[in-house]
Structure 1
Amino acid sequence: MKKLIAVVIVLIGFTFQANAQEVKTVSLEQTKGEFTQKALTLSEGTYVFEVSNNNAAPEVGLVLIEAGKDGTDAKNHIKNAYVSQMVKHGKKETSKEVMLKKGTYKYFCPFNKTPQYTLIVM
């Protein structure tokens, strides 16, 4: 009976490890009118975006959309990529977890008026 319980516990442990996803952090820095990271290439997975404000504007943020969609329409925004609160001068804020699948995305800040940069997920 003890062997059976031990086997079940080991199997449950392997199941949890197989289902556990590693969450990676993508650090982005904004300066006046731009992100310092002009393009990103990531592997498919779960990410948290960390945005820092290096005297870019009083408050900055992050918008992530699928390439080809209208970034001015909030319904196209990937809401979990929004930072938890506006990023003030000299501060950092993070997003919720975002599951990125293979494809091309665009990221930008509407408050600091950055260009739309390309994020490729392979």
Structure 2
Amino acid sequence: MKKLIAVVVIVLGFAFNTNAQTVKTVSLEQTSGEFTQKSLTLSEGTYVFEVSNNNAAPEVGLVLIKDGKDGSKPENHIKDAYVSQMVKHGKKESSKEVILKKGTYKYFCPFNKTPQYTLVVE
């Protein structure tokens, strides 16, 4: 009986652990002066941001901050949301994994000078 309980606990542990590690991709496209996605609503979880540069600027990037923080201060940036390298014309780059909790965030590109757009996590 103890072995059966141990096996059930291990199987459940793997099931919950596998579910917890699901990473979703958020695709964002930049054109000149803006993101084409003007707002996002996501559920809590782990995300990778994929940013494409559709002739927006020679190089673009992504900054993600909690709503109410000053985006001009790098210490307020969620650094894992930065793309791995600047996104050149016609290219696509991805961020590291970012864990998003419930709340409101802002995203923007400081190089392409986009407005700050709203990302809501429910």
In 2, the alpha carbon distance for the partners of 1:17 and 1:73 equals 40
- Number of the residue aligned with 2:106: 106
- SS of 2:10's partner is helix
- Number of the residue aligned with 1:56: 56
Whether 2:56 is the aligned partner of 1:89: answer no
> Which segment drifts farther, 70-79 or 18-27?
18-27
Q: CA RMSD in A?
A: 1.5
Q: TM-score normalised to the size of structure 2?
A: 0.92
- Number of the residue aligned with 2:17: 19
Where do 5+ consecutive residues of structure 1 fail to align? none
Note the C-alpha offset of 1:8: 3.6
Q: What is the identity, as a one-letter code, of the residue corresponding to 1:117?
A: Y
> Identity of counterpart residues, as a percentage?
77
- SS of 2:15's partner is helix
Q: May I ask how many residue pairs the two structures share in their alignment?
A: 120
Superposed CA deviations along residues 60-99 of structure 1, whole A, max 9, x for unmatched, are 0000000000000000000000001100110100000000
In 1, the alpha carbon distance for the partners of 2:23 and 2:80 equals 14
Q: TM-score normalised to the size of structure 1?
A: 0.92
Where do 5+ consecutive residues of structure 2 fail to align? none
